[in-house]
Chains A and B, each alone.
Chain A
Amino acid sequence: MSGATRHGPRQRLGARPRRVFGVMVGGLLLAVLLNAPALEQGAESMPYGRERDFWLAVWKPFAAVSRTFYLDEPRNLLDRALGRGGGDLFELPAAPGGGEEPGREPPATAPAARTPAPGRGTPAAAPTPTPDLRPRLRTPTAADPLRVWIGGDSMSKVLGEAFLRQAAETGVIAATHDPQLSSGLTRPDFFDWPGHFNQLVQSGRYEVFIVMFGANDSQGIKTPDGKIFQPGEEGWTAEYRRRVAGVMDLLGGGNRLVLWVGQPIMRSAEFSERMAALNAIYREEAAKRPWVQFIDLWPLFTTPSGGYDAYLADDDGQVKEMRHPDGVHLVRAGGERAARAIMAVLKAEAKIP
């Protein structure tokens, strides 16, 4: 990893432009052939639309040639060695132990078999909240801290960092931060959250899950039977609701508490509207489940008149920059503010002074 080599007066390693062009184009074409499946997968994980169709059309023939002549094998081997790859189905693990009742403690055995869940709609009837399904968190100590997982999409990055700092201050909360940029519940082909959550739950490590999704979710969604719906359509809402419900059920049980963090107001009115629609789904689904609490960030990031502003008065009265110039993400002060709201709920639940 040395720096650039010096191009002083010395023997020149000259080549004619035509030859260099040949090497460059030949190298890139060969790279595309060796890499076609990966490129195709990259295109597939783009939001459903014209741009995605264009790139898919570009990569498809390459991928076909690549597969025919097994040129993709080296890359596949590499990916397997690095433990990458995944499908595009939103597969919720079969309810552990076949239990109809979410919230029942899963047996701490091997991971449940994962089956595709075509047509598994929303639970026909919301489970009746019964007191025994409401988690009772123990009061943690420094020797045996509360084990908390916090993660989600890029919005959970700054939030999680702030939460980690505040958790360290309590001395009795051990937090694990696991943000996956550009991910969400809409595109499991980009990042397989159900599979990931299933592993986390099976590990038995965590007592509290703090999740935040939505900023990347307002895009085309594919149902188990292959239909694609766009945000705002009824099919979209039903499928997204099914996934939110599924994840909440997956994370619940075993006396685990789930804190589901909603989206704050956004700079773009249109984007705000979409986030408000997702918040409504989170709120409704959380209300059906005693082990899930919805944490509403919206009022924390609005002006007194209810609008968006990057600069807001903080709890100490100081006006601070809370939002990123992109009009979406939080910056440090905003993250701290949101984390305090979550921490307040968590402290009350675990009776941490």
Chain B
Amino acid sequence: MPAESFRQSPASDEAATMQGGAAPPPADAMLFPTVDFAVFFVIVFAIAWLLRPWHLWWRVFLVAASWFFYGFWEPKFVLLLIGSTAFNWAVGRDLAAMRTPEGLTRFGRWFLGFGIAANLLTLGWFKYYGFFVHDVAGLIERFGVDLPLPLLQVTLPVAISFFTFHAISYLVDIARGECEPLSPIDFALYLSFFPHLVAGPIVRVTEFAPQIRAPLRERVIDAAPAFTLIVAGLFKKVVISTYLAGEIADPVFASPASHSALENLFGVYAYAVQIFADFSGYTDIAIGCALLLGIQFPQNFDSPYRAWSLQDFWRRWHMTLSRWLRDYLYIPLGGNRGPKWFVYRNLFLTMLLGGLWHGAAWTFVAWGAIHGAGLVIEREVRARNRWLGGAAAKAAGWVITFHVVCFAWIFFRAETFGAAWQVITRIATAWGEPSPAVTPLLVAVIAGSIAAQFLPKDLFRRFEVAYSELAPAAQAAMLAVALVLIDALGPEGVAPFIYFQF
């Protein structure tokens, strides 16, 4: 594998340094911004729409295509996906039999716990074993307990975090009586549908199932929004994200001490835009691809850097994850019911676990803790009626929110606490040093990316309407020009996708 993995795709290289040696995206995965994926998608699109009248075959084909897509990277992990599908489908079917009008039977609750635990243990093995052996066992050893754990390097299967989320939400929704068990083929499609497989958005079974069960009424595709999403997503991911990472975010976080205060500050701003462009770009492509196949996904990002409070930010950032955390973690913990401090505890714990989900490192826990603490403080201020109204207060709220979010990103991006602390101290102390990395173009890209989030929504809508009214040849020409521009402005080779590691 090693020599061959060094195709002209740097995918295996950069991710290694992205998060202190988290699992890299595979060098030969079928990433969205590749020729391989374009060919794959065109073929799948044609066959899927030809098969659409034959409802069963249409679904069988989409499952097969999704497994092929996943197996393209590492065939053996398709077995994991199939195993997870079979297991969760069976648990879901049996859970449904344990429901009573009052809820689950006592055994049913145990059984649900078993199903969730099995999913989490699988995820835990792949994702947290190393973290446990390195960090947690070390802590335990300090108390004199020696855990003889082998040091293993476990390869993290791409997408496992996301299909674990889908599986758990399916089981809980059945237990709550919100949905009925799906047929094996429907469930297989729900869990492994390739547009959302790798990095979301996290789709609810209640959103997805009706769309694949519905008999075909009209063969109409929301093409203009789909193309707009795909092209904008590619631009964000391939051009903006890569430029900012290479230009300043990566160098600054690699060695904060070699950079001035201004460079460190802009390194953090750049990372804030980079992770948004990278991640929202990828999910926009996913939403667009699904739309072309006639499936609507929920929105995943809604101009998060417009937010004027942290609560507002979490309604706009990775919305399907926030929703998942709310419904399957926050509410089971007790949610908003109970004494104030109990509610604050739930909020804080939810964000802490949300942080840990992003990666097996204490820095991610710190990221979650900052957001958890920020949300609690915000609620307390509101509860005491200290929340000011008016435009000036909103503007101040925006500045504070953006900087709290950026502050948290420092911990998210830094490989160690030491490195995070170094970025912070450099920003505080190293003023007046030359800052060659902060160029006018860089500042313009960062400022422009944030300003673009304030654009009115109907601007995009108007563009989509205008695009949909063009002749097909003009539509194709615009698509081609956009693709060539993105390719020319992008890097040579495909940069890795940050969220593969989560």
Contacts and interface: CB of A to CB of B under 8 A. Distances in A.
Contacts of B461: 5
Contacts of A22: 472, 476
B493 A177 contact: no
Contacts of B8: 42, 45-46, 182, 190
Given A23-B472, A165-B257, A182-B13, A13 B49 contact: no
Contacts of B428: none
A303 to B, nearest CB: 12
A17 B3 contact: no
B316 interface: yes
A78 interface: yes
Contacts of A326: 1-2, 5, 12, 16, 24
A125 interface: no
Nearest to B220: A14
Interface string A311-329: 1000000010101111111
Given A30-B480, A182-B13, A319-B151, A5 B3 contact: no
B7 A2 contact: no
Nearest to B453: A2
Interface string B1-29: 11111111110111011001101100000
A267 B2 contact: yes
A332 B222 contact: no
A20 interface: yes
A324 B219 contact: no
B472 A266 contact: no
Contact of B284 (A3, A12, A47): A3
Given A3-B304, A7-B225, A169-B257, A27 B483 contact: yes
B46 A39 contact: no
Contacts of A219: 3, 6
B6 A215 contact: yes
Contacts of A92: none
B1 to A, nearest CB: 7
Interface string A83-105: 01000000000000000000000
Contacts of A324: 16, 21, 24
Contact of B493 (A1, A161, A181, A329): A181
Nearest to B246: A181
B17 A161 contact: yes
B221 A17 contact: yes
Interface string B455-478: 101001100110010001101111
A17 B255 CA distance: 51
A29 B480 CA distance: 8
A28 B480 CA distance: 6
Contacts of A82: 488-489
Interface size class on chain B is 35 or more
Interface in B63-89: none
Interface in A210-252: 215-216, 218-219
A15 B255 CA distance: 51
B13 A23 contact: no
B21 A331 contact: yes
Interface in A175-213: 175, 177, 181-182, 190
A164 B255 contact: yes
A328 B10 CA distance: 13
A325 B232 contact: no
A6 B21 CA distance: 36
A45, A182, A326, most chain B CB atoms within 10 A: A326
B94 interface: no
B383 interface: no
A154 interface: yes
Nearest to B475: A23
Contact of A325 (B23, B257, B258): B23
Interface in B228-244: 228-229, 232, 236, 240
A27 B17 contact: no
Nearest to A45: B8
A27 to B, nearest CB: 3
B153 interface: yes
Interface stretch (B261-269, B294-302, B363-371): B294-302
Interface size class on chain A is 35 or more
A21 B293 CA distance: 11
Given A182-B9, A218-B3, A12 B472 contact: no
B5 A328 contact: yes
A193 B488 CA distance: 21
Contacts of A323: 153
A247 to B, nearest CB: 19
B451 to A, nearest CB: 9
Given A1-B449, A20-B223, A168-B258, A27 B484 contact: no
Contacts of B151: 310-311, 319, 321
Nearest to A173: B258
A316 to B, nearest CB: 14
Interface in B161-187: none
A154 B13 contact: yes
Given A268-B2, A271-B3, A329-B13, A5 B254 contact: no
A341 interface: no
A50 interface: no
Contact of B316 (A3, A5, A74): A3
Given A2-B453, A34-B484, A39-B35, A332 B415 contact: yes
Interface string A270-308: 010010000000000000000000000000000000000
Given A2-B460, A5-B460, A17 B42 contact: no
A1 B244 CA distance: 15
Contacts of A168: 255, 257-258
A17, A47, A169, A266, most chain B CB atoms within 10 A: A17
Nearest to B300: A4
B381 interface: no
B229 A21 contact: no
B480 A34 contact: yes
Nearest to A19: B472
Contacts of B4: 47
Interface string B149-163: 001011110000000
Given A30-B480, A182-B493, A14 B221 contact: yes
Interface string B50-73: 001000000000000000000000
Interface in B276-302: 276-277, 280, 283-284, 287, 291-292, 296, 299-302
Given A1-B236, A14-B221, A182-B7, 13 more contacts: A3-B316, A4-B299, A14-B220, A15-B468, A28-B479, A30-B476, A34-B480, A38-B488, A325-B24, A326-B2, A326-B5, A327-B1, A329-B13
6 contacts: A16-B220, A23-B475, A24-B292, A157-B17, A175-B258, A325-B21
Nearest first, the 5 closest Cβ-Cβ pairs linking A and B are A27-B479, A3-B301, A154-B13, A26-B476, A331-B21
Interface of A: 1-7, 12-17, 19-31, 34-35, 38-39, 42, 45-47, 74-75, 78-79, 82, 84, 154, 157-158, 160-161, 164-165, 167-169, 175, 177, 181-182, 190, 215-216, 218-219, 266-268, 271, 274, 310-311, 319, 321, 323-329, 331-332
